[in-house]
Structure 1
């Protein structure tokens, strides 16, 4: 029986320090026919030279694209647009983690246990580690509430570098990619929103990667206590850095997928957006009973507050 063909999409940017460990862990993946497509996003360090060496050593497995700097969202969408839709599964990868050898085979096994004709996405917890791979804590934990559109519109529960997609998901995301990515918060959040709305998200609480935490992370998990984490988030919303990012992404999602949404989904999304233009009293009334939710109680309280303040 042929091993499943898996395409790993890796975007790099000045990642020379850890790229060797990441690539070695990819090449060590078991029970899959592995192909790695790497797009460098305009690195100025030794990243490109290192990847060229790997591509030369593994020409049947590694392909490299040297691109201009688009940022992480643009780089991953560019990667998706350049992929040939010939694989059984598609995975995203960061440049500085270490994957456990069973990471892809475990994801494939769980995805193959579900009907293949619907959008599917696998994601998992991570073993967070420091720069030297010393274990910190496991994050995120298994969500307690359903992974539905009503969660995904306001919270991303899936770590992008653990995500593995079936062909239905990959082809739909690629075919409906916005021409302007400005209102997409992050590529993994956008995909989580799509799959939770139209298919099934499989969350594996067993960590499958060593998720490196260091000052160079573009985004990632945090060891901060909840009150520090939420103080930082609150500051970002109040000070404008995150102003309207949730509603802008929701509006874009509704625009692109309106015809695929059920009548009830359309109604709930439109109501979420329309109530922002109502009086404070009506916004409070809507926030209290809105169908959209975050996983943790305190996160949900903050969600309602930023909605009432029109900072969502």
Structure 2
């Protein structure tokens, strides 16, 4: 499909001179798409900013470099500022981009085709996301599927209750419409990552669509802000969840609850739409018996004993451990 539509690519950079040119070139070479890059740097001390301005002079009609006007630093603050700027533009379709990947030349065309096909109307918040190839610094293949490499659970289903505490969407593999941008931006303070927030908003207020194609070479190297981690120890997805929980959830669990609570406080949220989301958002207020009841409602979704154990740990034991820290 030849879309010939305009897509704004929101590119966040920080000390990315080593791989930035490859990324910019791969975005500019997208087929059958009028692409415009909106780039923002987070205070680089290398040649990243110089490179951005050199590219913006060479491709003046395709690249806009916006200045940093805030003292806030970090991955989330950078993308948050890009989203706020995007709200002031006239673009209808948007993508997030990191500074060190390489996009396949059909990425935007394929994602936009799927987005337009799924879009019931311009007022429906919609996000499409794809798989990625995992590669090393030299772009040599590590794994043809990021989903399999990371042990992500069924990215095409986006089912609750797992979606409250398991992000299956990677920002650089997404495309979304203006309706979603207007719901999700500006980004609230205290989020984990921007892509998870956009995915949750799409899931609750619109539609989330998975494209089972690897459309990016997702580069792994020593200075990734956020990278991939191979999950080798699990024999099932349930074991993967428990492994992740032991390593990460104790730290991240309060943020998962906070993020879901923010969703339930959105202006257009229907309190009767999702009992599990409501319950998870208020989990800290529940006594033991209410938590057990919430788990019991979702036991039919558990595919194995390991999955049931996972929910018991998640809904009962973890909140106790977090409070005891």
TM-score, normalisation: structure 1: 0.87
Equivalent residues of 2:156, 2:209 under 8 A apart: no
Aligned match of 1:135: 141
Aligned match of 2:121: 116
Distance in 1 separating the partners of 2:98 and 2:89: 21
Provide the aligned C-alpha RMSD in A.
2.8
- Secondary structure at 2:278 match in 1: helix
Distance in 1 separating the partners of 2:147 and 2:28: 26
Aligned match of 1:92: 96
Aligned match of 1:126: 132
Distance in 2 separating the partners of 1:194 and 1:109: 21
Aligned match of 1:207: 214
Aligned match of 2:313: 305
Is 2:19 aligned against 1:7? Answer: no
TM-score, normalisation: structure 2: 0.84
**Counterpart among 59, 67, 76 of residue 73 in structure 1:** 76
**Counterpart among 156, 173, 177 of residue 162 in structure 1:** 173
- Secondary structure at 1:48 match in 2: helix
Aligned match of 2:229: 222
Q: How many aligned residue pairs are there? A: 304
Distance in 2 separating the partners of 1:25 and 1:13: 18
Equivalent residues of 1:5, 1:33 under 8 A apart: yes
Aligned match of 1:21: 22
Change (3 A) 1:274 1:108: closer
The more displaced of 129-138 and 109-118 is 109-118
Distance in 1 separating the partners of 2:227 and 2:158: 20
Q: How far off is 1:170 after superposition?
A: 1.7
Q: How far off is 1:267 after superposition?
A: 4.4
Is 2:66 aligned against 1:62? Answer: no
Distance in 1 separating the partners of 2:109 and 2:308: 35
Matches within 5 A, 1:165-180: 165-174=176-185, 177-178=186-187, 180=188
- Secondary structure at 1:244 match in 2: helix
- Secondary structure at 1:140 match in 2: helix
Aligned match of 1:245: 255
Distance in 2 separating the partners of 1:249 and 1:292: 25
Distance in 2 separating the partners of 1:74 and 1:173: 14
Change (3 A) 1:210 1:269: same
Unmatched tracts of structure 1, length 5 or more:
none
